[in-house]
């Protein structure tokens, strides 16, 4: 080992780290390799091996080699290594022959889109609907995670379809992905307003690279695209605002009247944001609750195209937060932002839910809707009702919410209130239950949610009959 290192005349105390790594990599791997950027060894067959997982072994061998050649002991060699400027302390590891982040995001979004189109085309008609959306979500998520693991093994991921990893908050690079934004529309034959979101967040920089694919119209939009074509000058036509068809902001009609705009319902945050980028709409306003993966890639692409992007109170959109709930946003042409934001400010006064309250609210909403696709449950989540265990995993709880016969009798949630402290949320409400033909029974519910991070960990419910004589 030491002879091989001396033959290459590599000295860890003088030579650049890249030269040290390639020389030691040739010995370690026994192959004709070259160093391509920061801590990558590129082989003759085109493979690029990130040697981060071998770095410790390389350091030990280098110290041994330097010690043997200089007569120094291992402690001296360790000090010699510490004087080498390690590139990982400067910036993330990259290989010069690897795809850049924006191109990688575009390739991954496009590939996931092709997969979703294939899955949709092959699905029997009876599988359309929520089940097709769920299959598409899982398939696209697996595809994206596999690509990122292969191409960027040191990066972390925040995905709608995966358990949240708290380590991402302190990571240097985090990919924020929504494998299928608009799964409801994807599950409906002929609908085109669904998308794939792939975005990269970097510490100290925010969103840096992203792509939004709209497979049904054969389009992929990227932060590396040429600047968007200028919108038609204001005043030449009546402007339009795209909004959620199922959860439009309560104030949006007042805002539209104030600025003289038409409202256009549309599915998928990505589809709505890209309509603004293309100039087909002038703004996208949302305040019905969202998560970071819903808006990260659309916001990054829209900002790169010169659009104005902010929360409805005008504050910046921040990503990779401990709780990934990001309930509202405005994306609009920059020259219309002052007038639109003034109208939004004038007509919005209701406070928005905190991240934990939003998660509890989504769970309670699913009691009636029987759709738990937006309920964030930890894999090991559990539920107790009146002292009886009624759920032992996130999967089991979600399945009971959607398919359990006991939930089909639930009719309406009333008088819902929340109290939050630390990572606890308590919800109190009245629940109307069908108890017979033309007969409804009302019970009082108190539910305690433990939400330490980005998922509900446990639910404890107390179900009580209303006190005798109390009106419902």
Q: Residue 261 domain-assigned? A: yes
Q: Residue 229 domain-assigned? A: no
Same domain assignment for residues 342 and 376: no
Residue 126 has pLDDT above 60, yes or no: yes
Q: What is the pLDDT of residue 42?
A: 55
Question: Which tokens is 259 given?
Answer: 């600025």
Looking at 311, 330, 347, which one is the last position of a domain?
347
Q: Compute the average pLDDT of residues 123-134.
A: 83
Same domain assignment for residues 186 and 275: no
Q: What is the pLDDT of residue 468?
A: 62
What are phi and psi for residue 51, nearest 5 degrees?
A: -100, 20
Check: CB of residue 22 under 8 Å from CB of residue 33. yes
Task: Write down how long the chain is.
Answer: 472
Number of domains in the chain: 4
Residue 124 has pLDDT above 60, yes or no: yes
Task: Work out the pLDDT band at 75, boundaries 50, 70, 90.
Answer: very low
Residue 438 has pLDDT above 90, yes or no: no
Same domain assignment for residues 305 and 369: no
Question: Which tokens is 181 given?
Answer: 């934004």
Q: Residue 470 domain-assigned? A: no
Same domain assignment for residues 287 and 361: no
Residue 223 has pLDDT above 90, yes or no: yes
Residue 89 has pLDDT above 50, yes or no: no
Q: Residue 95 domain-assigned? A: no
Q: Percent of the chain at pLDDT above 70?
A: 76
Looking at 50, 67, 89, which one is the last position of a domain?
89
Q: What is the pLDDT of residue 355?
A: 84
Distance CA 260, CA 73 (A): 78
**Residue-wise pLDDT tens digits, 230-248:** 667 776 789 999 999 888 8
Same domain assignment for residues 180 and 246: no
45-51, long-range: CB < 8 A, 24+ apart: 48/95, 48/97, 48/98, 50/93, 50/95, 50/153, 50/154, 51/21, 51/25
Same domain assignment for residues 115 and 215: yes
**Torsion angle of alpha carbons 90, 93, 99, 103, nearest 10°?**
-60
Same domain assignment for residues 142 and 210: yes
Q: What is the pLDDT of residue 7?
A: 35
Residue 299 has pLDDT above 60, yes or no: yes
Q: What is the pLDDT of residue 63?
A: 42
Q: Residue 60 domain-assigned? A: yes
pTM of the prediction? Answer: 0.73
**Residue-wise pLDDT tens digits, 393-422:** 999 999 999 999 889 899 999 999 999 998
Pairing verdict, β 262-266 and 240-244: parallel
More confident residue, 85 or 210: 210
**Residue-wise pLDDT tens digits, 167-209:** 999 999 999 999 999 998 999 988 999 999 999 999 999 999 9
CATH number for the domain harbouring residue 261: 3.40.190.80
Same domain assignment for residues 83 and 133: no
Residue 94 has pLDDT above 50, yes or no: no
Q: What is the pLDDT of residue 5?
A: 30
CATH number for the domain harbouring residue 120: 3.30.540.10
Residues 6+ positions from 41 with CB-CB distance below 8 Å: 21, 22, 25, 29, 33, 34, 35, 48, 49, 51
More confident residue, 6 or 67: 67
Q: Residue 228 domain-assigned? A: no
Task: Work out the pLDDT band at 24, boundaries 50, 70, 90.
Answer: low
Q: What is the pLDDT of residue 267?
A: 87
Same domain assignment for residues 132 and 156: yes
Residue 68 has pLDDT above 70, yes or no: no
Which structural domain, as residue segments, surrounds residue 140? 101-222
* Residue found under tokens 């770095």: 55
Looking at 89, 119, 142, which one is the last position of a domain?
89
More confident residue, 248 or 82: 248
Check: CB of residue 25 under 8 Å from CB of residue 58. yes
């Amino acid at each position: 080992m030491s002879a091989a290192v001396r033959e290459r005349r590599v000295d860890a105390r003088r030579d650049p780290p890249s030269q040290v790594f390639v020389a030691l990599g040739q010995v370690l791997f026994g192959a004709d390799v070259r160093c391509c950027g920061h801590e990558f060894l590129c082989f003759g067959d085109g493979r690029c091996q990130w040697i981060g997982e071998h770095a410790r072994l390389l350091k030990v061998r280098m110290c041994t080699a330097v010690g043997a050649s200089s007569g120094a002991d291992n402690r001296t060699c360790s000090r010699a290594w510490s004087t080498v400027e390690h590139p990982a302390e400067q910036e993330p590891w990259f290989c010069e022959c690897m795809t850049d982040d924006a191109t990688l995001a575009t390739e991954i979004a496009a590939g996931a889109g092709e997969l979703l189109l294939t899955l949709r085309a092959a699905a029997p008609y009876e599988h359309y609907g929520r089940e097709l959306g769920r299959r598409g979500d899982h398939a696209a998520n697996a595809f994206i995670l596999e690509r990122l693991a292969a191409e960027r093994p040191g990066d972390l991921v925040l995905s709608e379809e995966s358990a949240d990893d708290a380590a991402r908050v302190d990571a240097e690079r985090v990919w924020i992905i929504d494998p299928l934004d608009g799964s409801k529309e994807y599950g409906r034959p002929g609908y085109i307003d669904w998308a794939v979101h792939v975005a990269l967040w970097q510490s100290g920089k925010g969103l840096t690279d992203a792509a939004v694919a709209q497979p049904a119209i054969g389009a992929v939009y990227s932060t590396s695209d040429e600047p968007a074509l200028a919108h038609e000058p204001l005043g030449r036509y009546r402007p339009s605002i795209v909004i959620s068809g199922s959860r439009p902001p309560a104030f949006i009609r007042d805002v539209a009247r104030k600025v003289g705009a038409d409202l256009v319902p549309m599915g998928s945050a990505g589809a709505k944001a890209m309509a603004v980028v293309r100039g087909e709409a002038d703004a996208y306003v949302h305040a019905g609750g969202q998560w970071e993966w819903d808006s990260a890639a659309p916001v990054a692409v829209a900002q790169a195209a010169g659009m104005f992007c902010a929360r409805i109170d005008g504050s910046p959109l921040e990503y990779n937060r401990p709780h990934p709930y990001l309930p509202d946003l405005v994306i609009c042409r920059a020259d219309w932002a002052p007038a639109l934001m003034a109208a939004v400010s004038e007509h919005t006064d209701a406070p928005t839910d905190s991240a934990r309250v939003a998660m509890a609210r989504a769970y309670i909403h699913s009691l009636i809707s029987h759709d738990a696709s937006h309920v964030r449950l930890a894999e090991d989540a559990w539920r107790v009702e009146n002292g009886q265990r009624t759920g032992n995993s996130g999967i089991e709880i979600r399945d009971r919410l959607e398919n359990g016969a006991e939930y089909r009798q639930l009719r309406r949630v009333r008088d819902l209130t929340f109290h939050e402290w630390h990572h606890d949320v308590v919800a109190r409400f009245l629940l109307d239950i069908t108890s017979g033909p033309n007969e409804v029974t009302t019970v009082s519910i108190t539910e305690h949610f433990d939400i330490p991070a980005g998922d509900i960990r446990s639910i404890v419910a107390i179900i009580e009959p209303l006190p005798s004589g109390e009106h419902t």
